[in-house]
Amino acid sequence: MNDYVIYTDSACDIPPETLKEWGVDYRWLTYIFEGDPRQYTNYELDYPVFYDRIRKGGVARTSAVNAEAFSDGFEPILQSGKDILYIGFSSGLSATYDAAAIAAKELLEKYPGRDIRCVDTRGASAGFGLLLYMAVEKKREGATLAENEQYILDNRFHLCHWFTVEDLVYLKRGGRISAATALVGNILNFKPVLHMDNAGHLINMFKVRGRKNSLSAIADKYGELALDPAGGTVFISHGDCSEDAQKLADILRERYGVQVAKIVYVGPVIGAHSGPGTIALFFLGRER
């Protein structure tokens, strides 16, 4: 009963070549730079080039996937006689999941013998990328569409997202902190530590002084919450700061004996809101 396709969107920040290896198809979120009419897909511009442009003052505005794009992607799969499990970007941050659900509803009226299940991960970046990986593994083990859907629903609120940012100006633009907080925080070198709650929203939890302390604080949360500290599957994503991502991976290995499974870039669509220097840690925990 494996006659279904796992589908996602590019906010998972899993590289296209990896998604291809996993047998996962996807649709692209897009962005534009202010003053530049060109629209880019999430994977189109080399990530270091994107972040260099951001560091030089470029402001990127992002767009969700629309229902028509999902319909165009879903329909050939249904026509081939296969069903679909869509695993998508948090509805708390984007309209992308809602667009997929609209497309699914319309197509199921057209193809009543087929099935499309849409799962709102309430996650972002490689956090829902990790849930996607889990779904791929579950499918390889023989899980049916319904079983895999329930598996992801059962685990989504155990998928911990803990992260920090280098420059508070990007959180200010997104309305996460005030202009005054951003100004004072940058002057005093305060680094916020945030997580994603069960509604799929980014929540500012506490702040520490300095980059080193922020990485250590994220590692502390891993030790506090991880279901399997030594053997769990761990992903890290970073906003063009691979050395810091490796430092966090080293801290986790030294403290808990865990080997980080995957380190990836925070893609432009997420990075436009979190900024260069973002470091995010994803793992299964007792709770988010």
pLDDT tens digit string along 225-260?
999 999 999 999 999 999 999 999 999 999 999 999
State the chain's maximal CA–CA distance in angstroms. Answer: 60
Q: Give residue 178's pLDDT.
A: 61
State the Cα–Cα distance between residues 100 and 88, nearest whole angstrom.
Answer: 8
How confident is the model over 19-40, as pLDDT tens digits?
A: 999 999 999 999 999 999 999 9
Which tens digits make up the pLDDT trace of 198-220? 999 988 888 899 999 999 999 99
- Average pLDDT over every residue of 99-116: 97
pLDDT band (50, 70, 90) for residue 188? low
Per-residue pLDDT averaged across 44-68, rounded? Answer: 95
Look at 1-15, 37-51, 164-178 and tell me which has the smallest mean pLDDT. 164-178
Looking at the DSSP bridge assignments, the partners of residue 206 are 193
Query: 173 pLDDT exceeds 70?
Result: no
How many residues does the structure list for the chain?
A: 288
Handedness of CA 92, 95, 100, 105 (dihedral sign): positive
In the numeric block, which tokens belong to residue 269? 């669509």
* Average pLDDT, rounded, for the chain: 93
pLDDT value at 84 more than 90? yes
Q: Supply 40's token pair.
A: 């880019």
Please indicate, yes or no, whether the overall pTM of this predicted structure exceeds 0.85. Answer: yes
Residue 106's Cβ-count burial label (10 Å; 0-12, 13-18, 19+) is middle
Q: What is the mean pLDDT of residues 40-52?
A: 95
Domains located in the chain, CATH noted:
4-155 (3.40.50.10170), 158-284 (3.30.1180.10)
